[in-house]
Structure 1
Amino acid sequence: MPAPSAIKTLIVDDQQTMRSLVRTSLHAIGITQTREVPDGEDALRALLAQPAQLVITDFNMPKLDGLGLLRAIRAHPPIAKTAVIMLTGRADRDLVQRAVQFGVNNYLVKPFTTQTLKEKIEAVFGPLT
């Protein structure tokens, strides 16, 4: 049962509007230690420089997409245990299966509510206190 304020989170999405929506929802549930980057390459660099407990990443991005980022995270031992929630507008079974195969912790389909995001995070970390 982690305190939400203790969960360091990296938000990865190529759309500034979506990063803002995710940040606002996280802050509403008490997760205030957030950083934001626009693509998977920047996310990997940010994680290696300063690890996070949670990555919320879009699937469809330029340079390095969400699956590529997930694979890179799992391949780097210092950050391999980072929780990853994949955020996408596609509820594609094949995509979900590949994400699970690569070790995604949870999956969130856009549009989402703050409550749904909280439930997805609690499914990974347990009840937030």
Structure 2
Amino acid sequence: MPAASALSVLIVDDQATMRSLVRNGLKQIGVTNIREAGDGEEAVSALVARPANLVITDFNMPKLDGMGLLRAIRTYEPIRNTAVIMLTGRADPELVKRASQYGVNNYLVKPFTVVTLRGKIEEVFGAIT
């Protein structure tokens, strides 16, 4: 049972508004170690420089999308065990299937609530306090 304050989270989304919504939701459940990236390329650089416990990433982004980011995380040994929650505006079965093949840990469909966000994180890490 990890403490929410012990989690290190990287939010990856090309829309500042969505990053803000996720950040505010994380703060409401007690997560304080939060970083942000505007696309997958920026996220990979951030993770290599300083790994995180959890990446919450959008699917549709310029440069390197969420699927590309997931593949990059899973193929780079130092960060391959990082938990990844895919944030998407659509529950497309093909997207879910492809992300599952690459080892996504969970999905969060927009729009989401703080309760849903917490639930998705707890499905990955167990109850957080």
Pairwise same-fold verdict (TM > 0.5): yes
Unaligned runs of 5+ in 1: none
- Residues 40-79 of structure 1 show CA distances to partners (whole Å, capped at 9, x for unaligned) of 0000000000000000000000000000000000000000
Query: Where does 1:59-70 land on structure 2 (aligned, <5 Å)?
Result: 59-70=59-70
C-alpha distance in 1, partners of 2:107/2:37?
A: 19
Counterpart secondary structure, 1:78: helix
Counterpart secondary structure, 1:95: helix
Cα RMSD (Å) of the superposition? 0.3
Unaligned runs of 5+ in 2: none
Counterpart secondary structure, 1:70: helix
Counterpart secondary structure, 2:121: helix
C-alpha distance in 1, partners of 2:67/2:79?
A: 15
Task: Return the letter of the residue paired with 1:77.
Answer: E
C-alpha distance in 2, partners of 1:50/1:14?
A: 20
After TM superposition, the runs of 4+ consecutive aligned structure 1 residues lying more than 6 A away are none
TM, length-normalised to structure 2: 0.99
CA-CA distance at 1:115 after TM superposition: 0.3
Counterpart secondary structure, 1:56: strand
- Residues 59-114 of structure 1 show CA distances to partners (whole Å, capped at 9, x for unaligned) of 00000000000000000000000000000101100000100100000001000000
**Count of equivalent residues:** 129
Counterpart secondary structure, 1:31: coil
Does 1:48 find its partner at 2:56? no
TM, length-normalised to structure 1: 0.99
Query: Where does 1:1-129 land on structure 2 (aligned, <5 Å)?
Result: 1-129=1-129
Identical-residue share of aligned pairs (%): 71
